[in-house]
Structure 1
Amino acid sequence: MLRALGIEVTPTQMVDLVDSLHFVDIRSRRDFKHSARAVLVNQREQIPLFDEAFDLFWQARSEGELLELDLGTLLQKHQQQEMELYRRNPSAGESQNDSQETEEERLLTYSDRELLRQKDFARLDDAELVTVQRMMQGIQWQLEPRRTRRHVRARQGQLIDLRRTMRQTLRHGGEVMQFTYRERKTKRRPVVLICDISGSMERYSRVLLQFIYIVTSRLDRVESFVFSTRLTRITRQLQRRNIDDALREASAVVHDWAGGTRIGEAIRTFNYDWARRVLNQGAVVMIISDGWDRGDVQLLGREMDRLHRSCHRLIWLNPLLGAEDYQPLVRGIQAALPHIDDFLPVHNLASLEQLAAILQKDNR
């Protein structure tokens, strides 16, 4: 279809398009459209033609002649628009007000996106940070639900509901007409995020707080905390609809940004003041920290052990773990490692995608 409109599409681009679909929600027409456009369109002036062709394709016409007719009409329309533009301003094709170029017209190729997926958060410039934040929105956050002890009706399955089957049998004169089934009821697990915002984490704090905001907006039951020398709950602040407003309000209630690090004291505060309220029903807890701790590491070990026994799954996310030569030598990490279920990197978009995949498959 695109070739018929004069947009050259190579086999390599088709392979890249298929690969790119692993990183977007294909149920979202907007995300799919932007991904396809970034891979298949090489010239800015082809963007309007691609957009209209995309919309035409997804109208799902039942007859091929109608689609062919619309393609011809569409191509003729754009040729007329180009001629009219040239007639009014012969130099428009060269300049065309680049200063008024919209964000959506600033195309990122698939290779550009792949580079951003792999680039360390600490090395992003302001423009890249905005793009990464937009790409971060496409990650699907969904936890494996927990099974409760209660049972509910099921259309089919391996567990026969004997009571309901017998009642139906009695209503039919003692003849078994149909088996009824039941299955264990499932509920979504709560999530607790505890993020280190001390001085050693300053390079990562901004983008990781955006990650926490996105997780909070996608999942139902999320509690969020930050710490440096003390623990602060920011759950309510992150419930604002606008991310900038949410982060601004969170910053206003935190008084120890980029300070020292007291991980053990922060975890102890959580265990004593918050654990009973937020760790019910098999919560998943994620601690985000590089492990640099100026406090009592023995206290950290004890409190991590207590936290591990109180939750369903304890995950430690370390931005330094993305380095090839990283070794867990700092005292804080050594004290925590015996008590965690997963030790994962959180330094770029690819590591967040890995985390999302792990959370969807709970093997514990």
Structure 2
Amino acid sequence: MTSSPDGGRLALNLMHFARALRAAGLPVGPGKLLQAIEAVEAVGLGNRTDFYWALHAVLVDRHDQSELFDQAFHIFWRNPDILKRMMAMMLPTVRTDAAPDRPEMAQRLAEALHGSGPDPEGPEKTEIELDATFTVSATERLQEKDFEKMTGAEMAQAKRLLTRLALPLAEVTTRRHRPDPGGPRLDPRGTLRRMLRSGGDLADLARKRRRTRPPPLVVLCDISGSMTRYSRMLLHFMHAVTNDRDRVHSFVFGTRLTNITRHLRHKDVDVALDAVSGAVADWSGGTRIGTALHAFNRHWARRVLGQGAVVLLITDGLDRDAGEGLAAEAERLHKSCRRLVWLNPLLRWEGFAPKSSGIRALLPHVDDFRAAHSLNSLAGLADALSREGPRRAPGLRRWVKEAAG
């Protein structure tokens, strides 16, 4: 960058912008800031679109970061004449009290931009604050809060809590046996071995009982545009579950199905999600649920649905194909697994009604229908799956009847 005053002012503005993005949750460090300055030097300041995409190419790593970057860009560089003003050596004013271009700005972005520049009213005042982040009441509020409404700090704390979330599935009986003195069945081989050890003399009869173990878990998560606000936290949930137990298979889908099981096995969640981002090509696009389930039933069902697998289907049910072929594929999936649980973020609304054709096609073929919008909803799922009960949830009949009507 040139050492002229122009370059210094431009670099200062880019530094404030990078700080705002980092405070809002994007991994923007000094190296990316230097790359952003070089990119702006390369494209120049004559075109706002070129300026936008130059910064986007350097500062955005994953598809799920694009919306946050877009909001931050249009708020920070709000004035449409800002590039001409920058060329005239005038600093942009960063304010967040006016309404942004988008109808609703993310709360964590507003919080980040509010502290991205110097305080125009004078020096900072020293304040004494009590940190109640980990008090019981604050934690309870966080557990009930919608993922969509969380600030950056709350999302970071929620992710830490998700790493400690276990998903204990009720154990199922297998065909294998284990020795048990009080078992209900005789063990002829075990009895013979006892007699051989005693030189052929009579020995006590050995007994055995069937082994039990948790069933396999299969997660199918929607990453389409309508699920963007929740897919990030749900991927953290999937990572925590994958690293908590064995025999977990994870898939994501938008317009196509992608197996991300291998990527989520990385212990470091950031490394895992970066690997997922590189493997998935249809982030924040349309949703073709029927096509995704067809691909799963055809290519993966026989491999991963053995031994009474439990399937978690995470989607809002808004299908671009209007539910075409979805009912048949959902029925086949339901018959192939031990239990099919549908997690839908839209269920958080009190006035929710199954009016979408995709929702109506799915509901008759699931065993449980639950919300997935907060830490409490995910904890409730863990509690429900840890208990052995009826295959179909008692409250599901009402939703199926409403969808049919």
TM range (shorter): 0.5 to 0.7
Q: Does 1:133 align with 2:172?
A: no
3-state secondary structure, aligned to 1:229? coil
3-state secondary structure, aligned to 1:282? coil
- Superposed, 1:188-267 pairs within 5 Å as 188-267=214-293
On the 8 A contact 2:251/2:259 being kept in 1, the answer is: yes
Q: What is the match of residue 362 of structure 1?
A: 388
How far off its partner does 1:256 sit? 1.2
Q: C-alpha distance in 1, partners of 2:141/2:297?
A: 40
Of residues 277, 280, 296, the one that matches 2:303 is 277
What letter is aligned with 1:299? G
3-state secondary structure, aligned to 2:293? helix
1:191-242 CA distance string (max 9 Å, x none): 1111001111111111111111111111111111111111111111111121
What letter is aligned with 1:196? D
Q: What is the match of residue 329 of structure 1?
A: 355
Alpha carbons of 1:96 and 1:278: their partners in 2 closer, same or farther (altered >3 Å)? same
Q: C-alpha distance in 1, partners of 2:237/2:201?
A: 59
* TM-score scaled by length of structure 2: 0.60
* TM-score scaled by length of structure 1: 0.67
Q: C-alpha distance in 2, partners of 1:355/1:189?
A: 16
Unpaired segments of 5 or more residues in structure 2? 1-125, 392-405
Q: Does 1:113 align with 2:162?
A: no
Alpha carbons of 1:242 and 1:169: their partners in 2 closer, same or farther (altered >3 Å)? closer
Q: What is the match of residue 345 of structure 1?
A: 371
On the 8 A contact 1:264/1:296 being kept in 2, the answer is: no
3-state secondary structure, aligned to 2:182? coil
Q: What is the match of residue 170 of structure 2?
A: 144
The more displaced of 301-310 and 236-245 is 236-245
Following TM superposition, the consecutive aligned residue runs of length 4 or more in structure 1 with deviations greater than 4 angstroms are 95-98, 162-175
1:93-147 CA distance string (max 9 Å, x none): xx8999xx9xxx7642111111111111111111100011112223222222221
On the 8 A contact 1:223/1:278 being kept in 2, the answer is: yes
Of residues 160, 163, 187, the one that matches 2:213 is 187
Q: How many residues align?
A: 265
Q: C-alpha distance in 1, partners of 2:360/2:218?
A: 22
Q: What is the match of residue 52 of structure 1?
A: none
On the 8 A contact 2:178/2:211 being kept in 1, the answer is: yes
What letter is aligned with 1:347? H
Q: C-alpha distance in 2, partners of 1:182/1:107?
A: 51
3-state secondary structure, aligned to 1:252? helix
Unpaired segments of 5 or more residues in structure 1? 1-94
How far off its partner does 1:252 sit? 1.3
The more displaced of 207-216 and 138-147 is 138-147
